[in-house]
Amino acid sequence: MTEQLKRYFGTDGIRGRVGAGAITPEFVLKLGWAVGRVLAKEKNSKVLIGKDTRISGYMLESALQAGLSAAGVDIYLLGPMPTPAIAYLTRTFHAQAGIVISASHNPYYDNGIKFFSNEGTKLAEAIELEIEAMIDEPLTTVESLMLGKAHRIDDASGRYIEFCKSTVPLKMNFSGLKIVVDCANGATYHVAPDVFRELGAEVIVMGVEPNGLNINQNCGSTDPKLLQDAVLEHKADLGIALDGDGDRLIMVDHIGELVDGDGLLFIIARSQKLRGKGSNCVVGTQMSNLGLEQALKDHDMVLHRSQVGDRYVIEMLKEKGGVVGGESSGHIICLDKTTTGDGIVAALQVLCEMIRTGSTLHDLQSFMTKFPQTLVNVRVNKAINLAKDEAVLAIVASVEKRLGREGRVLLRASGTEPLIRVMVEGRDLALTQKFSE
């Protein structure tokens, strides 16, 4: 059962342009019904629904609610909440499933539906295929006596704030730290600032005025330039940039330099190593920087690379017995704290290490030196099997030989365009640029 067999589900649920494809009220109603039939077969079943702040969330929430009710499932509405909060609350409410209406870091005109199992984990591909098969069945409505009821959970944000704080040692205090927090006008706008304030930090907020259209717009982890400026302007100790649904994290040090997912993953893994916690196994992806691999090796840790996508990082962590993993984009998974990528929780672990060691974020990042990467998109006229094309493999081997042990070439086919994405990485920027041409 592979991803190629699936018609609707991608690596992280179903996503697309609002009003097209699967992101229509008609399809989402049927999807809600199918999910209810597959995931909530028990009597008195319940499903949680949360969303980010994009305007289409109202429409899709109503459609999901109708489909689930028709399947005889009770619905618990959380309102705007970060994706990792839904994962956590699904477990604590003992719900059969959690649903997130979000397109993460995408613009407002996209949206998507993501799912969590009753354990707060991404759905297995076999379950996704079962849901897709159910979508093809005629929609039937249970007897009126059995229709699902809708409830609203008013204290969802408070519950999640307390959970986030619980991932920090009880006596840890962030007083004395000045932090700029950019919530991307997304789902963390009413949560993240309170977490850091209640732990003692002085917090300056950005991106906390969502209007349904400005999510991720010139803000957040995908566009941190204004955050960098704000950190310098306010003479802050650091900046925290989350994305629209709160599962990605990028940070800014006190001199305005970015610390991406690779740097944050290294800081957290190194902290655990020095404290005798965690595991010597760390999981990144094919895109993770060679500098991360080298820095982990210098600290007697091994980087394992999964496919791109946080679900694959989590799968490999469990396979290898690891505790922390992540992507360069800022998905950081701390399996000793929670079940999925969580931007707030990851940021808290970095702040804890700063307090423990008396170091700045810049100091902690300095133990890792990133290798230059050159990225090029090559347009193609026909599909190419990158794993079997002898001419392509020969060129890659030739370039990697010239780069030596401290360089590599990565080719990835775009999933949406006739493009091959070429990445050349090595210690020498001039060489990476030359060989990418």
Provide the pLDDT confidence category of residue 414 given band limits of 50, 70 and 90.
low
Three-class secondary structure of residue 167 per DSSP: coil
Which runs of consecutive H residues, i.e. helices, occur in 275-371? 290-298, 310-320, 343-357, 361-365
Model pLDDT, residue 44: 78
Q: For residue 234, what are its two tokens?
A: 């306010």
> For 50-54, 88-92, 277-281, which range has the lowest pLDDT when averaged over its residues?
277-281
| Rounded average pLDDT over 38-45 | 80
| Rounded average pLDDT over 67-83 | 97
Which position has the token pair 């009821």?
149
Domains of the chain, each with CATH number or no CATH: 3-154 (3.40.120.10), 160-365 (3.40.120.10), 373-436 (3.30.310.50)
Nearest to 266 by CA among 254, 251, 256: 251
Question: What average pLDDT does the structure give for the chain?
Answer: 92
Instruction: For residue 145, give Cα distances in angstroms to 40, 148, 379.
Output: 17, 9, 57
Q: For residue 409, give every residue at least 6 positions away whose Cβ sits within 8 Å of its Cβ, in sequence order, or none.
A: 396, 399, 400, 403, 422, 423, 424, 425, 435
| Rounded average pLDDT over 305-329 | 94
**Catalytic annotation on 104?**
yes
* Residue-wise pLDDT tens digits, 161-196: 999 999 999 999 999 999 999 999 999 999 999 999
> For 46-60, 88-102, 113-127, 368-382, which range has the lowest pLDDT when averaged over its residues?
368-382
Distance (Å, rounded) from C-alpha 101 to C-alpha 114?
Answer: 6
Q: Are 293 and 303 in contact (CB under 8 A)?
A: yes
Model pLDDT, residue 300: 95
Provide the pLDDT confidence category of residue 1 given band limits of 50, 70 and 90.
very low
Q: For residue 221, what are its two tokens?
A: 């982890």
* Residue-wise pLDDT tens digits, 266-280: 999 999 999 998 889
Nearest to 329 by CA among 247, 268, 394: 247
> For 170-174, 291-295, 349-353, 369-373, which range has the lowest pLDDT when averaged over its residues?
369-373
pLDDT at 417 over 70: no
pLDDT at 416 over 70: no
CA atoms within 13 A on the CB side of 416: 3
Distance (Å, rounded) from C-alpha 97 to C-alpha 71?
Answer: 14
Provide the pLDDT confidence category of residue 379 given band limits of 50, 70 and 90.
confident
- pTM for the complete prediction? 0.91
Q: At what angle do helices 83-92 and 343-357 cross, to 10 degrees?
A: 100
| Rounded average pLDDT over 287-291 | 93
Pick the more confident residue, 115 or 125: 115
Q: Are 433 and 374 in contact (CB under 8 A)?
A: yes
Model pLDDT, residue 351: 98
| Rounded average pLDDT over 14-25 | 96
Task: Kindly name the residue from 104, 271, 306, 329 that is annotated as catalytic.
Answer: 104
pLDDT at 4 over 70: no
Model pLDDT, residue 3: 45
Which position has the token pair 């629904």?
49
Q: Around Cβ 396, how many Cβ atoms within 10 Å?
A: 18
- Most distant CA pair in the chain: distance in Å? 71
Most confident of 11-20, 72-81, 408-417: 72-81
pLDDT at 329 over 90: yes
pLDDT at 265 over 90: yes
| Rounded average pLDDT over 93-113 | 96
